[in-house]
Structure 1
Amino acid sequence: MHGTSQPARRLVAEVYGAGEPKMVFQSKRETRVSALFRTVQPVFWHTPRAVLLVLFSGMVALWLTSGALSGEPRRSSTSPAIRELVSQFQSSRTTMDERRQLVAQAVEGGPAWVEALLPVIEKQLSARLERYGQMFTRQAQRQAGQHLRQVDPRQVAAVREAVLTLRQRPDLTKEMIQQVGDPGLKQLQQWLVIPREVVLASSDTLRSEREKLSEWGSLWEECARVLYNAAPPESRPDTQPSFEEYLAGEETLAAFLVSPMDPPARQVLAQNAILAKQLQREEARCILALNMTRVLLGLNPLVIDLRLCAAARDHSNDMKTLGFFDHTSPVPGKTTPWDRARRFGTSASGENIAAGYSDGNAANMGWFHSPGHHKNMLGNHKRVGVGIAGTYYTELFGD
């Protein structure tokens, strides 16, 4: 980068750290695919249930406490009328129809009423989500065993090799990624991840539990939308809170989590689910999307490094507030990604940046389709951190 013209520096800086990415083609990893498939049922059934539960409930906690509501701290109210409403809602004698009426009353009362009631709903919803997550995961495990028996591991290995070979090409283009990488990922997902609809269709009990859960989810959504609409426009997410969209996403995630992967990979994802509680919602989802991509391709998932997240968030905030978009920062002491990581007590091996995104999944796919970023995200890293400020995304990798 150094010593080149400014336009050239910007071109190179677009994929800072990707000029000579540290990557090792995982041929040995691919040769283990057959062995992995031979032992796929033990991998599923012997995985500690607590690990799968952490993976599901960790994202539940992240979502319930995320900025999807209002971005403002809740106020405790001393209004006797509000306290009475909350007390009635909590009573074990209160029916679901009566709870709906109480929610309607709180919605009519406005944000102060909703803020008092919402934690009560979230407590009930969280427990039910956890129980439903256990049921869905168990059913997904049963169905996945049948689903995977139809998959030829040699075909899986061939598709993975075709996609991973792209990162070695010095002439890699977006078109190559779209022609080989996109259909490859789609095919791997069809083979290795059981559709959530198949899981739901296989159990009347599961569908019944989902309907009960959705009743509580609708109460949460009504309250959450009041706070969403009351929040300043600049602090709102792009889309209103939707419990159904969230639940469908969590079911897809749970189905992915019972797909074949090494036990250490599953442990990393469980650890990340806990760490993700300290991140913004879309930061966590961006990292999860990255790791889902890597696992489908037979690569190791990356561990969340909270210090890299802080460094990445700091750079995104600088780009947003100072009006620049570059890996080279004008802020003294923050010139390079390595400088910025060092300021937060860690180290970096590569960086991706993006602007104009409000969704972590979309940012991840944008990087996947960009040649240099593509090589970074599928490189031989061990750690990752994502930081967001507005629509600016920074992704830092670490060895």
Structure 2
Amino acid sequence: MRDGLGFSESEMGVLLLTGAIGSLVALPTSGMIASRIGAGATCVTFAGLSAGGFAVATVAVTADQPMLVRVGLFLGGMGVGVWDAAMNLEGAVVEQRLGRSVMPRFHAGFSLGTVAGAGLGALAAHAGLSLPAHVIGVMVADLVVVVVCVRFFEPTPHGVGADGVMPGSASSADTAADPSTAVDAGHSLRDTLATWRESRTLLVGLVVLAAALTEGAANDWVSLAVVDGFGTGNAAGAVGLAVFLCAMTLTRLAGTALIDRLGRVTVLRLSGVAALVGVVVFALVPVLWVAMVGVAIWGAGAALGFPLGMSAASDDPRRAALRVSVVSTVGYSAFFVGPALIGFLAEHVGYRDALLVLALPVVAGLFVAGAARPLAPAGGAGPARTLDG
């Protein structure tokens, strides 16, 4: 896209910002939408919007229409943002019904998709496949998979009566005995605004913000940093991204046992330290293979922050949809700030040195990691789940 549009580093940063703006515009409404029509319908609707938006953007690149590229990325960002919040809500429902940590494994599925995407990107670049043919083909396949898979979703709370219980669902007494059966009413704008005043929810959002910056910066810039920083070809840049994504995927697959053993807070702090070490190694070591080791450590450190934040936001099933939307909105603001900031810095100091700015949010995330500690149940009789040691 950079080459097709003839954009500079800073212009690419602003371009990437367009999709983040779309997500931020739509995300605050995701809790209301999912609570009213359910996670499955929300995923299908907004996966379709994202597919259409990214298809428009890629066709516009070949037509040299930068404004239309921005329109497509804005719509794609809206779709991805709400789709992301809805599937995290569904993941929380499954996790609560199982009674153990599984959210990182769902995010490993996300990472497997990005690994596949990086691999297809390398093959497409090597084969000289056009950008629209590549991206539109992937978008169509994605949408088919979503339509099929949501048929197997666990029902998420929506369409409830005045007593807060969905018709035909568990009774109020059952809900009191098992919070995982609790349901949300179709939430209003007032409910959403009230959630934005919850200090714990905002601190969990800051944890997710730090994780999203650390992950998103790699997704956006590692390929270009390898290409420009080490003088390699585009295929090598895609391999660098694949190393990051593979490390993330493996950590998410293996991380559930670590979370159950050490607890959320300890794992979040260990992850922050690993991310910090990995970024520093990649940015400062001039040897490509050592820098790739740093990318792998960076990927492992960035793996668990986002899923753990989603789990923390969903501890109370009755408020899960709203809190996930707030935490997702705060987290996605990383994509509002990160691409433009790193792109601006890269124009002056290069991509690799610019990535050192990630140390600031990682350290901030370390300080507020305690906010993700599991909530006690409404009666106050101990922790809601034994995920924090």
TM-score (norm 1): 0.25
Richer in strand (by share):
1
Richer in helix (by share):
2
